[in-house]
Structure 1
Amino acid sequence: MELPSFTKEQITKVIVSNAPPSQLFEILSQYESDACLMSAGSGSPETGAGDPEMLCLYYSGFFFAHLLTKQMSKFPIILQVIPEARALTQRIPVTLKHHDPSLQNCLNLLRAIWQNEHGQVYRILRGLPWPDTLKHLVKRYESFFQDQTLIAVSTSYEAIRPAVAAGYLGLDTQAAEKDNQTIIQKFTDCGWTWNPETRLLYPSPITVPPTNSQPPSGIRETMAMLGNR
């Protein structure tokens, strides 16, 4: 099947869709040569040649597609992105990534993930301005990041303070420090155990087959509740 033309309308349609991460990545990867030609000044008016707004939208969407499809390490507890997303940022034209706010956000996000700064990851995803076209994809990645973090924490800690666990998941750490029962229940609903005497949570390991890029439906439902901050 012939791929639709590389246009702003087509890229927008792909990015705002609910396509599975692997499909999203596959479609956008096929347009990278077109993006390279366009950034070099090639193309035609019909394809939006030299349109920096379109190119920034494309590269931002492709960046999130990398994050959504690439596996993260389970140990140590703090997750690390494997190199493909970093490699993409090296291929983005310098004039774009140094001046476009969305691409700057992407670079800051990658840096925060790479440096294991969970709090900063959530601040970037939730607090920085993102174009309306990208907001759906940003939210998808936030849920994915929470899923992967929950799995990693569950398999790496024998016991953990509520405030620390809340920090990993982007929840209210001050409320968790006071043993807020709403937050405690969010974790016990995941199968964890709460001991009010020791004031510690005892995680129950959550395992996902390596080939499965999405956690089981039960975990997704639990993370949906965690997202209701």
Structure 2
Amino acid sequence: MELPPLTMEQLSQLVASNAPPSQLFAALSRYEQEACLMWARSGNPEAGRGDPALLGLFYSSFFFVHLLTDQVSEARALTKRMPEPLLHHDPSLQNCLALLRAVWQAQHGQVYEILRALPWPEALQPLVKRFESFFQDKTLIAVSTSYEAIRLATAANYLGLDPQLAERDDPNTISNFTKFGWIWDQETKLLHPKPIVATPPTGNQSSNGIREAMAMLGTRAS
């Protein structure tokens, strides 16, 4: 099935849809060649310049869809294929680079700060929010299977919850974990996770993603 031409309206509708990440990945993959041609034509005065705003949104969206399908290495490769001038001047793509570094280095607190504090265009917000939820779910599963006991503040940091509330043993923060069957030991001030079974990945989602996250988290209480 032939896709409509790559336009801001078409791309915005696609990003805002509730389509599964694997379907979004397939659609945006088919648009990448068109995006490359649009940028290549920008060097020809007679052909007209590719819209930088459209191309910035396309590459930012494609980047997030890589993350949503658990393809971090491929997302990194995508940044190498992005037009260099666009990559260096588009604010959203600069934010994507910062996010990539934080995800790659497993800096969980920084991931949430980048997603929540940095400016993202309105059209990209649906993917930003979807990735935050995806990242939280993936991290929660990894923590639940990696730790026998963990401090509340450490667990809160992994989930992007308020660290100050966690330090005060906030009941609402504790309930974010006990609702999954975790046990809160008031005497030791430790959470005892109950393993959460991960849903088998589908489509382009990497089957190694959860195991890789678990390896980065470690296995001892902190």
**Would you call these one fold, judging by a TM-score over 0.5?**
yes
After superposition, the C-alpha distances for 1:151-175 in whole angstroms (9 at most, x for unaligned) are 0000000000000000000001111
Task: Note if contact 1:155-1:203 (Cα within 8 Å) is conserved in structure 2.
Answer: yes
Extract unaligned runs of 5+ from structure 2.
206-222
Give the equivalent residue in structure 1 for 2:35. 35
Task: Note if contact 1:191-1:203 (Cα within 8 Å) is conserved in structure 2.
Answer: yes
User: After the TM superposition, which residues 47-58 of structure 1 pair with which residues of structure 2 at under 5 Å, given as runs?
Assistant: 49-58=49-58
Runs of 4+ off more than 3 Å: none
Structure 1 letter corresponding to 2:192: Y
Does 1:179 pair with 2:169?
yes
After superposition, the C-alpha distances for 1:89-130 in whole angstroms (9 at most, x for unaligned) are 000000011011000000000001111111110010000011
Q: CA deviation at 1:17?
A: 1.2
Structure 1 letter corresponding to 2:26: E
Is the alpha carbon distance of 1:48 and 1:15 closer, same or farther for their aligned partners in structure 2, counting shifts above 3 Å? farther
Task: Note if contact 2:41-2:48 (Cα within 8 Å) is conserved in structure 1.
Answer: no
Give the equivalent residue in structure 1 for 2:209. none
* Larger relative contact order (CA 8 Å, sep ≥ 6): 2
Give the equivalent residue in structure 1 for 2:94. 104
TM-score by length of 1: 0.84
C-alpha separation in 1, matches of 2:200 and 2:84:
35
C-alpha separation in 1, matches of 2:69 and 2:37:
25
Could you say what secondary structure the match of 2:89 adopts? coil
Which has the larger displacement, 105-114 or 1-10? Answer: 1-10
After superposition, the C-alpha distances for 1:171-222 in whole angstroms (9 at most, x for unaligned) are 0111111111111111000110111111100000112243356xxxxxxxxx
User: After the TM superposition, which residues 123-142 of structure 1 pair with which residues of structure 2 at under 5 Å, given as runs?
Assistant: 123-142=113-132
Structure 1 letter corresponding to 2:41: G
Give the equivalent residue in structure 1 for 2:60. 60
Q: CA deviation at 1:43?
A: 11
C-alpha separation in 2, matches of 1:162 and 1:149:
15
Extract unaligned runs of 5+ from structure 1.
72-80, 214-229
TM-score by length of 2: 0.86
Give the equivalent residue in structure 2 for 1:226. none
Is the alpha carbon distance of 1:102 and 1:211 closer, same or farther for their aligned partners in structure 2, counting shifts above 3 Å? same
Give the equivalent residue in structure 1 for 2:107. 117
User: After the TM superposition, which residues 1-229 of structure 1 pair with which residues of structure 2 at under 5 Å, given as runs?
Assistant: 1-41=1-41, 49-70=49-70, 81=72, 83-212=73-202
Task: Note if contact 2:42-2:48 (Cα within 8 Å) is conserved in structure 1.
Answer: no
Task: Note if contact 1:7-1:48 (Cα within 8 Å) is conserved in structure 2.
Answer: no
Could you say what secondary structure the match of 2:184 adopts? strand
Task: Note if contact 1:48-1:54 (Cα within 8 Å) is conserved in structure 2.
Answer: no
C-alpha separation in 1, matches of 2:140 and 2:70:
17
After superposition, the C-alpha distances for 1:35-71 in whole angstroms (9 at most, x for unaligned) are 1111111699xx9851111100100000001000126
